[in-house]
């Protein structure tokens, strides 16, 4: 009730942090045993514990203990919370990852305990994206417990209970823990009680006290329980051993008039968005690999009638969910933990690759690629598929996105001509391959591939007599400039930066000064998390230009290579401009060897009143252009006076926008798990030391970022089409086909999969991306489904399609 304090016995369990996962697993087993013992000893005691992953470990390793827990759950004394796999970082996983955190967990809870969790619970996560209420509501949770940022870190946020809304209309009743999630020992508990009484003395609701040894597990001690038992009769209102579920339920019976909050909950550990590039890249690549592979597996299943690899994908997703744990994905665990992450996410990516390849080969095998006469070939070289000089090679290009794409696609042989499925010549270039063997050349050609579909292209070998009738290339590159039909880029000969970026249609210059010169920031003061530090602008140098040269010009693209050095490190960027693309892409190779530094790529635009916009999990957000380090997913943007530049990445998560300058943070080379910068003399290991490769794009536009093409371009940069060389065969599928047609460009297909229940029914998950209310048609003739749906801004809807194509709108839980 209003003046009640609810004692929440818990054990904060970090399964990986300053230890590896195997130790974390042991920690879970010991903590769970201890909690069961305490529950048997103290009749009033109630234990709360999150994370389906932990329960699954216990179930598999200690079935007897798990059986005890099931009984205690039934009695209401052991309370599972947070219908997620564990307590992930809440800024960097993509929306589909949050869906899977919930899907696998809530189904597990339902199966094992007969009910799902109704309370979300991420007490240690380092800040919470603005769409978390959506993720919770879609998973059956309407209440939330969080702690970071603290009142000192963000004094504007409401204390205690408040309504937290996301732009799609989702809402969670949220409790912000005022002190710690792990009070233990008489003094700590008494102190926490006193501050609760002071802090909430005038509040119109009750409050929760979280107690129990935590971080490395442990849970409530006998001393804690006995002390609270003694205290609860002393007379501050009502005190009781309880759970978050009971707390929220009872608060809802009060006439609450609570404050509201309608944006993100930030910041706590601003260095975590960039520390340890390896795990960031692994996370993004694994997410994209699984989402794409699952779509193709589903398409293949629908075509063949075979079941999709749902169980395999579940295993892979669970590995990914685990490695989104906040101390892992935030890059602040020990170095050895990332060796484990590489293995686990490699396992997940391998599943994705296997299943995708299987599916694409099945689909490709059904496409009609037959050419009359091809079987009459007589010579060995003609029959050799890669080097058939008489007939073009069929290559089927697959696009997993729900929007049509036009982009350059690479295959690993040179060509003299490329035509599309209807025989029209298309632009292509023979470009330097990664190998030194054979011809040293690959073909890059401009492909147009329909939404979640494929297109067949014909490639004549370079040694054949075929002559291309492709249109004149719109791409030109010379020493210091690159241009296509849409944009013109100029490079600064002194710095190697980009000095001009003009959109040709309106003649607008989008840069205020030379941009994208690698800039080095002092990172010696912050710890790995950057506790207490929210912006990084202490510039200690810029990288020096060592070489700039034209690598490719004409055909399908132009490429200029720019090399920089800084002390013992180098940065090489291939700036690539494709025909028809509004985005300049950079393929980056960095060998970094400078301890305690950060590297940023700044872009400065002209104008006043800049607005910073970023993609975040499940939507986008507008933030102040105040120079704070901010988390984002695939793109960040600065727009002023109606014109802007977006920076799109395939593996980075950290930006700052200081006035009209948007900087992508490409690495942050801190000491591994350097907590509060306590640094004894030692030969430390650094989390962003060594070689890394990644890509980013720069996209100039007019109007609001979210309504521009940035979302489409970001999807494309992160999900490149896959080219599958095919054989010559007859087939029942046409040479170009889309498996889905979504009427509105701002509705994105997040997922196409089969249901977890083995029914063979399909799940389509769709999200609005531009922040506008939208009605759209969706047609997926593959599974006989076609329907209309309305979306709120940034809303996600999940649809279940039965075997007759009838549609049910459901949730993440299917």
Partner 1 sequence: MKKIILEPHFVRKSTHFAFDDPAVPASLGESALEVPDLSDFPLPLPSKKSDYTCFAKAGNVLWLGASTGLTRYDPDAKYEFDAVQYFSADRDLKDNNVKALLPCDTGVWVKTDRAVTLIELPVMSAEEISDVLLRETLKYVSRHSMISHKYLARAGEHDSILPYGSCDNDGGFTSGFCLGEIYRYAVMKREKGKDSPEAKDALAVARRALDACMLLMYIHGRGNGFVARTYSTADEPVPDDGLFFRRQGNKAICLETSDSRDRGIVGLEIDCSAPVPDRLKYLYEEDGYTLDDIYYKCDTSSDEITLHMLNLLFAHKILGEDDKDLDDFIKVTASGIVNHIIDSGYTLRDYSGEPTTWARWDEPYFTKEIGWVDAALNSAEMLFYLKAIMEITGEEGRWKEIYDYLATERGYADLPAKHFDRLYQQSMRDDMDPAEEIMYGDHWLATASLFGLCYLEKDNEELLEKYRKGYKTWRSSIAREHDAALDFLYIIACPGEEIDEGRVREWFMRANISRLAAGVSLKGRHDIPVRTLRQGYREISTLLPQDEKFISKYDRNPVEYKNEDSGGLMAIESCYVYTLSYWMGRYFDFLG
Residue 221's beta-bridge partner residues? Answer: none
The three-class DSSP label of residue 575 is strand
Gap between the Cα atoms of 736 and 369, Å rounded: 11
Does residue 163 interact with partner 1 by CB under 8 A?
yes
Mark residues 643-672: x for contact with partner 1 by CB under 8 A, - for none: ------------------------------
Gap between the Cα atoms of 168 and 618, Å rounded: 10
Pair 518, 565: CB distance under 8 Å: no
CB of 260 to partner 1, least distance (A): 7
| Among residues 240, 741, 756, 761, the one that binds partner 1 under rule CB under 8 A | 741
| Among residues 260, 471, 642, 758, the one that binds partner 1 under rule CB under 8 A | 260
Does residue 775 interact with partner 1 by CB under 8 A?
yes
Gap between the Cα atoms of 775 and 788, Å rounded: 7
Distances in Å between the Cα of 575 and the Cα atoms of 100, 469, 600 are 36, 27, 17
CB of 237 to partner 1, least distance (A): 21
Gap between the Cα atoms of 242 and 207, Å rounded: 11
Orientation angle between helical segments 63-75 and 21-41, nearest 10 degrees: 50
Does residue 622 interact with partner 1 by CB under 8 A?
no
CA angle 684, 688, 690 (to 5 degrees): 90
**CA dihedral for 313, 318, 319, 323, sign (positive or negative):** positive
Select the span of 7-15, 54-62, 347-355, 806-814 touching partner 1 (CB under 8 A). Answer: 806-814
| Among residues 552, 630, 792, 814, the one that binds partner 1 under rule CB under 8 A | 792
CB of 764 to partner 1, least distance (A): 10
Gap between the Cα atoms of 679 and 682, Å rounded: 8
CB of 431 to partner 1, least distance (A): 36
Select the span of 455-463, 509-517, 639-647, 803-811 touching partner 1 (CB under 8 A). Answer: 803-811
Strand order in the sheet with 611-616: 544-552, 557-566, 569-578, 584-592, 690-702, 643-649, 635-640, 611-616, 619-623
Pair 79, 118: CB distance under 8 Å: no
| Among residues 169, 471, 703, 758, the one that binds partner 1 under rule CB under 8 A | 169
Does residue 546 interact with partner 1 by CB under 8 A?
no
Give the CB-side neighbour count of residue 250, counting CA atoms within 13 A. Answer: 19
Tokens linked to 305? 């009638």
Does residue 171 interact with partner 1 by CB under 8 A?
yes
Mark residues 570-609: x for contact with partner 1 by CB under 8 A, - for none: ----------------------------------------
| Among residues 18, 29, 65, 256, the one that binds partner 1 under rule CB under 8 A | 256
| Among residues 778, 783, 794, 813, the one that binds partner 1 under rule CB under 8 A | 778
Select the span of 499-507, 699-707, 745-753, 801-809 touching partner 1 (CB under 8 A). Answer: 801-809
Give the CB-side neighbour count of residue 496, counting CA atoms within 13 A. Answer: 24
Select the span of 73-81, 166-174, 375-383, 657-665 touching partner 1 (CB under 8 A). Answer: 166-174
Orientation angle between helical segments 222-231 and 186-199, nearest 10 degrees: 40
Does residue 727 interact with partner 1 by CB under 8 A?
no
Does residue 255 interact with partner 1 by CB under 8 A?
yes
Select the span of 435-443, 607-615, 662-670, 780-788 touching partner 1 (CB under 8 A). Answer: 780-788
Give the position of tokens 């459901």. 810
Select the span of 448-456, 460-468, 622-630, 775-783 touching partner 1 (CB under 8 A). Answer: 775-783
Orientation angle between helical segments 95-113 and 310-323, nearest 10 degrees: 110
Buried b (16+ CB within 10 A) or exposed e, 674-686: beebeeeeeebeb
Select the span of 53-61, 479-487, 576-584, 782-790 touching partner 1 (CB under 8 A). Answer: 782-790
Gap between the Cα atoms of 783 and 774, Å rounded: 24
**CA dihedral for 400, 277, 582, 548, sign (positive or negative):** negative
Q: Which is nearer to partner 1, 29 or 807 (by Cβ)?
A: 807
Does residue 257 interact with partner 1 by CB under 8 A?
yes
Q: Under rule CB under 8 A, how many of the chain's residues touch partner 1? A: 37
| Among residues 253, 375, 436, 568, the one that binds partner 1 under rule CB under 8 A | 253
Q: Which is nearer to partner 1, 22 or 808 (by Cβ)?
A: 808
Q: Which is nearer to partner 1, 205 or 668 (by Cβ)?
A: 205
Q: Which is nearer to partner 1, 256 or 362 (by Cβ)?
A: 256
DSSP summary character for residue 13:
B
List Cβ neighbours of 680 (8 Å cut-off, separation of 6 or more): none
Does residue 175 interact with partner 1 by CB under 8 A?
no
Select the span of 181-189, 192-200, 557-565, 799-807 touching partner 1 (CB under 8 A). Answer: 799-807
Does residue 203 interact with partner 1 by CB under 8 A?
no
Select the span of 428-436, 452-460, 484-492, 774-782 touching partner 1 (CB under 8 A). Answer: 774-782
SS3 content of the chain, % helix, strand, coil (to 5): 25, 35, 40
Q: Which is nearer to partner 1, 28 or 742 (by Cβ)?
A: 742
Does residue 757 interact with partner 1 by CB under 8 A?
no
Range list of β-strands (E), 212-341: 238-241, 260-261
| Among residues 75, 743, 758, 803, the one that binds partner 1 under rule CB under 8 A | 743
**Hey, how many other C-beta atoms are within 10 angstroms of the C-beta on 749?**
22
Gap between the Cα atoms of 69 and 546, Å rounded: 64
Interacting residues toward partner 1 by CB under 8 A: 142, 163, 169, 171, 173, 248, 252-253, 255-258, 260, 741, 743, 773, 775, 777-779, 781, 784, 786-790, 792, 797, 799, 804-810
């Amino acid at each position: 009730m209003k003046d009640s304090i609810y004692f929440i016995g818990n054990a904060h369990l970090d399964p990986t942090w300053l230890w590896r996962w195997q130790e974390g697993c042991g920690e879970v087993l010991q903590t769970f045993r201890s909690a069961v013992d305490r529950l048997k000893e103290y009749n009033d005691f109630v234990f709360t514990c999150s994370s389906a992953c932990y329960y699954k470990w216990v179930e598999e390793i200690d079935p007897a203990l798990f059986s005890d827990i099931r009984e205690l759950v039934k009695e209401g004394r052991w309370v599972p919370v947070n219908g997620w796999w564990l307590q992930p970082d809440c800024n960097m996983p993509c929306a589909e990852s949050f869906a899977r955190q919930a899907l696998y967990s809530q189904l597990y809870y339902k199966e094992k305990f007969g009910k799902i969790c109704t309370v979300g619970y991420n007490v240690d996560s380092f800040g919470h994206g603005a769409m978390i209420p959506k993720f919770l509501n879609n998973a059956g949770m309407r209440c939330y417990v969080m702690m970071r940022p603290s009142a000192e870190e963000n004094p504007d946020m409401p204390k205690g209970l408040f309504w937290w809304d996301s732009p799609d209309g989702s809402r969670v009743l949220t409790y912000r823990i005022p002190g710690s999630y792990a009070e233990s020992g008489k003094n700590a508990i008494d102190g926490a009680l006193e501050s609760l009484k002071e802090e909430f003395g005038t509040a119109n609701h009750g409050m929760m006290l979280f107690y129990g040894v935590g971080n490395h597990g442990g849970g409530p001690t006998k001393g804690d329980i006995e002390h609270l038992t003694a205290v609860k009769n002393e007379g501050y209102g009502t005190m009781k051993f309880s759970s978050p579920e009971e707390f929220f339920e009872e608060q809802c019976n009060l006439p609450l008039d609570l404050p509201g909050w309608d944006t993100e909950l930030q910041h706590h550990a601003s260095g975590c968005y960039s520390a340890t590039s390896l795990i960031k890249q692994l996370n993004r690549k694994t997410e994209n690999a699984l989402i794409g592979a699952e779509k193709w597996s589903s398409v293949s299943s629908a075509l063949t009638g075979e079941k999709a690899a749902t169980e395999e994908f579940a295993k892979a997703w669970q590995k990914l969910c685990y490695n989104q744990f906040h101390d892992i994905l935030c890059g602040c665990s020990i170095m050895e933990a990332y060796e484990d992450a590489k293995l686990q996410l490699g396992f997940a990516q391998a599943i994705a690759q296997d299943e995708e390849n299987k599916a694409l080969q099945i689909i490709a095998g059904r496409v009609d690629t037959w050419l009359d006469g091809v079987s009459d070939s007589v010579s060995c070289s003609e029959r050799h598929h890669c080097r058939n000089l008489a007939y073009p090679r069929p290559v089927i290009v697959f696009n997993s996105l729900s929007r049509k794409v036009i982009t350059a696609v690479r295959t690993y042989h040179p060509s003299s001509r490329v035509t599309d499925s209807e025989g029209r010549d298309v632009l292509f270039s023979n470009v330097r391959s990664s190998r030194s063997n054979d011809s040293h050349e690959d073909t890059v050609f401009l492909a147009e591939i329909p939404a979640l579909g494929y297109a067949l292209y014909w490639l004549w070998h370079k040694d054949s007599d075929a002559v291309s009738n492709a249109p004149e290339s719109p791409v030109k590159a010379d020493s210091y400039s690159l241009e296509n039909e849409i944009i013109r880029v100029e490079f600064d000969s002194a710095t190697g930066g980009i000095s001009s970026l003009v959109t040709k249609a309106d003649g607008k210059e989008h840069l205020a000064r030379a941009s994208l010169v690698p800039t080095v920031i002092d990172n010696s003061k912050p710890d790995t998390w950057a506790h207490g530090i929210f912006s990084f602008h202490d510039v200690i140098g810029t990288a020096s230009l060592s070489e700039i040269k034209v690598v490719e010009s004409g055909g399908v693209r132009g490429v200029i290579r720019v090399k920089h050095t800084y002390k013992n490190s180098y940065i090489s960027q291939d700036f690539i401009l494709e025909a028809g693309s509004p985005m300049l892409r950079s393929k980056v190779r960095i060998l970094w060897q400078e301890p305690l530094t950060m590297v940023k790529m700044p872009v400065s635009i002209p104008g006043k009143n800049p607005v910073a916009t970023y993609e975040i999990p499940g939507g986008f957000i507008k933030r102040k252009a105040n120079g704070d380090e901010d988390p984002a997913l695939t793109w960040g943007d600065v727009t002023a006076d109606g014109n802007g530049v977006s920076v799109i990445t395939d593996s980075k998560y950290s930006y700052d926008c200081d006035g009209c300058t948007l900087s992508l943070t490409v690495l942050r080379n801190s000491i591994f798990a350097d907590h509060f910068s306590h640094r004894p003399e030692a030969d430390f290991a650094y989390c962003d030391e060594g070689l890394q490769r990644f890509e980013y794009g720069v996209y100039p536009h007019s109007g609001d970022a979210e309504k521009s093409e940035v979302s489409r371009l970001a999807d494309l940069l992160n999900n490149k089409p896959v080219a599958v060389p095919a054989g010559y065969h007859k087939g029942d599928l046409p040479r170009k086909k889309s498996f889905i047609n979504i009427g509105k460009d701002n509705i994105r297909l997040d997922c196409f999969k089969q249901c977890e229940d083995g029914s063979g029914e399909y799940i389509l998950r769709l999200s609005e991306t531009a922040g506008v209310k939208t009605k759209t048609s969706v047609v997926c003739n593959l599974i006989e489904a076609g329907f209309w749906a309305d979306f709120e801004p940034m809303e996600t809807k999940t649809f279940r399609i039965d075997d007759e194509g009838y549609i049910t709108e459901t949730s993440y839980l299917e």
